[in-house]
């Protein structure tokens, strides 16, 4: 394993309802790399991401962070994980700024000004607005803005471009590239093409469901 490898998966397996989604899965990501997980619905893409976040257990294999099994690292691994799933995962009764403050408290705190974060994602005017009043696209931009509220290295993203228009997708692709340039890593599933011409991108196809 390279000394710059952050995330490594060895012989990972996953079953669901007595059906094997995948087995003997292996990959490694060095600082500055992105992995795009591909495959048809039902092949285990979301299950893989949930395993990486600790939201579900694998049915065999190991996950290593900086060469150490994550079950030995506990919080030292999970504070490096920043996850945005299918659902936005934001609190509708809170304001945009309150949501970002909550996100910052759950990872490696960033020194970025949260007003600047909202401005980056074109939500500055809605900082004090209750999230429930926002459009679907604005809520998704806020969900992804939580990535910028911490300095966590591992971004795990499940269909991040849901509800976003083309301009917003291009904006976040630039932010993804900046994260990789800062020695972070990204694991992502997306039905939209994610092209980062200047950064190394791996692709993993989980194939047809069993």
In tens, the pLDDT along 61-93 reads 999 999 999 989 878 999 999 999 989 999 999
Q: Return the pLDDT at 209.
A: 45
**Fold exhibited by the domain 1-80+153-210:** Rossmann fold (3.40.50)
Q: Could you report the per-residue pLDDT of 38-47, keeping only the tens digit for each?
A: 999 889 999 9
Instruction: Tell me the per-residue pLDDT of 2-27, one tens digit each, with 9 for 90 and over.
Output: 668 999 999 999 998 888 999 999 99
Tokens of 207: 């194939």
Average pLDDT of span 53-63: 94
Number of Cβ within 10 Å of residue 180's Cβ equals 20
- What residue ranges do the domains of the chain occupy? 1-80+153-210, 90-151
Residue environment code for 125-158, b if the CB has 16+ CB neighbours within 10 A, otherwise e: ebbeeebeebeeebbbbbbbbbbbbbbbbbbbbb
Which is more confidently placed, 63 or 195? 63
**What pLDDT does 1 receive?**
55
Span between the terminal Cα atoms of the chain, in Å = 31
Which has the higher per-residue pLDDT, 16 or 126?
126
Q: Pull the structure tokens for residue 126.
A: 């809605």
Share of the chain above pLDDT 90, in %: 80
**How much is the average pLDDT of 202-208?**
84
Give the pLDDT confidence score for residue 51 in this predicted structure.
96
Output the pLDDT for position 4: 83
Name the token pair of 65: 């962070």
> Between residues 146 and 19, which one has the greater pLDDT?
146
At 132 the pLDDT is 96
- pTM over cut 0.85: yes
**Residue 1: exposed, middle, or buried by beta-carbon count in 10 A (0-12, 13-18, 19+)?**
exposed
Q: pLDDT (tens digit, 9 = 90+) per residue, 147-191? A: 999 999 999 999 999 999 999 999 999 999 999 999 999 999 988
Q: What is the dihedral of CA 44, 29, 158, 78, to 10 degrees?
A: 100
pLDDT at residue 210, as a whole number: 43
């Amino acid at each position: 394993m390279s000394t710059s490898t952050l995330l490594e998966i060895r012989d990972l397996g996953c079953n669901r309802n007595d059906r094997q989604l995948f087995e003997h899965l292996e990959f490694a990501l060095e600082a500055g790399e992105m992995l795009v997980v591909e495959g048809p619905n039902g092949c285990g893409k979301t299950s893989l991401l949930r395993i990486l976040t600790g939201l579900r257990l694998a049915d065999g294999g190991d996950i290593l962070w900086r060469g150490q099994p994550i079950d030995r690292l506990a919080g030292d691994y999970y504070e490096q994980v920043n996850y945005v799933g299918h659902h936005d995962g934001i609190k509708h009764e809170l304001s945009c700024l309150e949501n970002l403050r909550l996100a910052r408290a759950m990872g490696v705190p960033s020194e970025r000004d949260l007003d600047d974060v909202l401005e980056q994602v074109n939500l500055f005017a809605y900082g004090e607005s209750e999230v429930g009043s926002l459009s679907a696209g604005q809520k998704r931009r806020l969900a992804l803005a939580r990535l910028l509220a911490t300095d966590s290295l591992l971004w795990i993203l499940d269909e991040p471009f849901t509800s976003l228009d083309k301009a917003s997708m291009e904006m976040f692709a630039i932010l993804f590239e900046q994260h990789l340039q800062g020695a972070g890593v990204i694991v992502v599933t997306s039905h939209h093409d994610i092209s980062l011409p200047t950064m190394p991108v791996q692709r993993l196809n989980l194939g047809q469901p069993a």
